[in-house]
Amino acid sequence: MREQYWVPQYTKQEPTRVPELGSVEIKKIRLSDGQTYFMRPLHSSDERRLQEFFYSHNAETLMLRYRHQPKQMSREKAHSLVNVDQRRDLALCLTERQGPKQEIHAVGRYFYLDKENLAEVAFVVRETKRGSGMATVLLCQMMKIAQKRGVAKMLAYVRRDNQAMLHIFENYDFVRQPSDSLEEVVLCRTLESTGQKSELMCEEE
């Protein structure tokens, strides 16, 4: 039978849940700027919001996050980024709500690599919202989820001049790995399984 050709291939991805977050996937969080935000997984309806967030980034943010300066985020790209398989990979965001309007201020995600049983993490926080703990709470939450899933290690590639990012990872005991790169630092952290050691404490608890 002919495929339903009017439905673009990319819209066939199904949204998935993050079972480790329990039945209520949204957490209300108060950060050091005194404001309240909501932490939750990205979902299908965030496509447009993610594009808006992307277009708020300046050139330096793009370089730090993507290692180059992508000029645009197509609808297709945004669609794939909000519809990741959340049972395997992870994509969390922090939003602010004003009435019916929701704005994304930060995204933390990891990609799971089966072969090594490790998760590679990356973040981006809106320039006007930095320094109030957004990346820190996202990292802590992602570590907790990865730990529950039995992921053995977390890994990150960070530019050597990205002091804020290096500081956050080192606060959470990530260790610099030997690397020949003059530009990037590779950081790694072993995750204890929840049975072995007490759970990680995130700031909002």
Ligand X SMILES: CC(C)(COP(=O)(O)OP(=O)(O)OC[C@H]1O[C@@H](n2cnc3c(N)ncnc32)[C@H](O)[C@@H]1OP(=O)(O)O)[C@@H](O)C(=O)NCCC(=O)NCCS
Stretch that binds ligand X, among 40-48, 122-130, 146-154, 172-180 (CB under 6 A): 122-130
- What is the C-alpha separation between 120 and 155, in angstroms, rounded? 5
Among 78, 140, 168, 202, contact with ligand X (rule: CB under 6 A): 168
Q: How far is the CB of 125 from ligand X (least distance, A)?
A: 4
Q: Is 132 in the site for ligand X (CB under 6 A)?
A: yes
Q: Is 117 in the site for ligand X (CB under 6 A)?
A: no
In Å, what is the CA distance from 46 to each residue of 51, 80, 120?
9, 11, 22
Q: What are phi and psi of 10, to 5 degrees?
A: -65, -20
- What is the C-alpha separation between 84 and 111, in angstroms, rounded? 9
- What is the C-alpha separation between 160 and 54, in angstroms, rounded? 23
Please state the length of the chain. Answer: 205
Give me the 9-28 binding string for ligand X, x by CB under 6 A, dash otherwise.
--------------------
Q: How far is the CB of 107 from ligand X (least distance, A)?
A: 9
Residues engaged in binding ligand X (CB under 6 A)? 61, 64-65, 122-125, 130-136, 156, 158, 162-165, 167-168, 171
